[in-house]
Structure 1
Amino acid sequence: MFMTDARPGIRKFCLLLLITFWVRPAWAVPVTLATVQKSNWSRTIPVMGQVESVGMVTLTAPMTGRITGPFPPTGTIAAGTVIAHVDAPGLQARLRAAEAQVEYARTALRRDEQLLKDGVVARATVEASRATYEQALGNARALRAVAVDQALTAPFTGNIRYLIAPGTVVAAGTPIASISGRAQPWVEALVPPELAFRLHPGEPAALRAHRWHGIGRIHSIGSSARQSGLVSVILHLPPHAPVLPGEWLSIQLQTSERPVLRVPAAAVVMHGAKPLVYLDKHGRAQGVSVRVLGVEHGVAYLSGALRPGEQVVVSGSTRIRAHSPLEIRE
């Protein structure tokens, strides 16, 4: 019988061991890890809101022009009091020209009606004269309405505060004066329903207007969405806030806190259109889909199939795939 030499087999086995322990680090991805942690998280919602009031109104210029009196003294004024006039440039001249055009068209119409009776002109001529007269009359009425709108009157009894000086030339829509009654102003903002249910009455909100900022509080949240699909949120203004009805404010709403998980933002990678993180599972990468709720100061707040205490890949996460071998570095 011939004895088979076992030494070549031993050499092959040793070679495989060398490959396993020496070659693997050459293709394992060097990474650093971070621990998944519990955290509380709230979301800041930037929205726009408008100041509203039943007992407060801001009178604005109905047209471009120069503001003239009477400008009653600051204090309480009665409903119907004329506060100021807006002298629109050229308005009176245009009104006089329009009235003259009405008189001319009326005279022409009467003349053509008489000529029709005499059989000199056709009925179509009279109809054309009548259309010209009615058009001139409409133009004059429109200008008279504009002239009436020049007067700014108090819609109710209240305290008046002037916002510009007499003689100022203003554009249409410029605030002239504000009148405050007994009611206090508030702010209305509109938010999506999925965010509205996480807001609660009494929570603070940062308010900012031109050259002013303050803290308001949520008064109430609508129970259903409007036709626009948004939910109304009513906020109280701080005392003596220098804002006017109709003014728009920038608002920062803060949602109530909820328990979430936090990891370094660098641990989150995109796989197609889905965010995920890679866990270290016995030296190999395991991808886990997550939902990113927010990112602040380099920290990502997540929800998903993660557990506190698990190790996620931070540096090197963009170079690995599922089941990639990992070389853990401190």
Structure 2
Amino acid sequence: MSRFPVKTSLLLVVALSAGGAGGYWLAQQGHAPASAAPASTERKALYWYDPMVPQQHFDAPGKSPFMDMQLVPKYADDADSAAAVRIEPGIQQNLGMRLATVSRGKLDRRLQVTGVLTFNDRDVALLQARAGGFVERAYALAPGDVVKAGAPIADILVPEWAGLQEEFLALRGAAEPALLAAARQRLLLAGMPAALVEQVARSGKARPVITLGSPIAGVIRELEVRPGMSLAAGAPLARINGLGQVWLEAAVPESQAGGLKVGQSVDARLPAFPDRPVSGTLASILPENDQQSRTLRLRIELPNPDGQLRPGMTAQVSLDLAGQASVLQIPSEAVIRTGKRNLVMLAEDQGRFRPVEVRLGQESDGLVAVLHGLDEGQRVVASGQFLIDSEASLKGIEVRTAEPAATAPAVHEANGRIVEISDQGLTISHGPFNTLGMPGMTMTFALARPELAAGLKAGDRVRFGVSQGDAGLVIEQVSKQEDRP
């Protein structure tokens, strides 16, 4: 009877509980020479390796230079099994392993962010003095008061208007209509409102004192009126902000803003009115990106007919982001995120599992899009994949990369100033890498080729490009820039 199921069960349990040391013990047991085996069936070793450093190969047996243990042989007839981890179906069931199928479909997203209500800066009215005069009366108002359209703000005495009105009234009985029209025109050019001119013409009395009212309904943001103060022509008296529509400002991560469209509908819920959701419109995506938080600011217009939405209130915002029409997708829990790359355990025939590197796209509701690395219909491990990944590492199984071998690494560019040149590379104080989503900082980059540092010195301004890999960020290109005057 084959001993393989028992060995596999022991291998998985010990790898889960004891990590690398258990893997080494199992490797020693699995590769212990069978003393009873005849010489004619002696297995051929391809190389020897340390189970703790499986990627390093040795041509002869001996003691590991890394750990206090003997090197383990890798046999020729193990070449095929070394490319994958095999687990018997019964053991898969005992471990509670779940598999998921790579499917194709539309991956819509719904983004939840928090926003703050602000005033609508497009709905602003400024009240000014049209001519020099004096404040006869200031009505009982203060910044923050809500007023209706036409509500009185102040009574202003304008001496210049008094003389012009008397001249106009004196010419009303003149036989020359042209003189009367010219006098009326002088009133208008002096800044007198047309309604006041008509009132003077009807009443036949001069009105040097005029009551200034609010041009629109809203809240008084600024008020610069006090009784007895003198005014110059054009002096600002009050600034009123309308409340018929308010803005809701929110920030979204730049990596998730690709599906937003100006004009789309937005749902908002306010803690002040939990039972009354408010629907608005995405008015604009502001062009400036926050370099610290890597977010984009949104401006959402919300109707406020009853005036109950007040600036400063917070709201929970729901945004529907357009998903790609047809993408490969797998459960998010199936992905092993190492920080440098994303892996999945691909299920093959006869209980074999192989690590595969994948390139991921957008993520929503427990699903993530796979841009490269998998094909539709393949199956991946959704539960228990970390155990298989540990055993694959101990066996030295190489991960199948997500990108074709001929694909050149992407180069990300930024500007900076050289701080130091050393054997480790260039230490550069650089600006943000926009394509990496990385803010500006000072760090040391290795050089892809030593000759890239030729002709450079500390203090030089440079434009440089880096590639990203398992070894970190490596400078692929660099060019010296002229200092700005």
**Structure 1 length-normalised TM:** 0.49
Greater RCO between the two (CA within 8 Å, min separation 6)? Answer: 1
**Structure 2 length-normalised TM:** 0.35
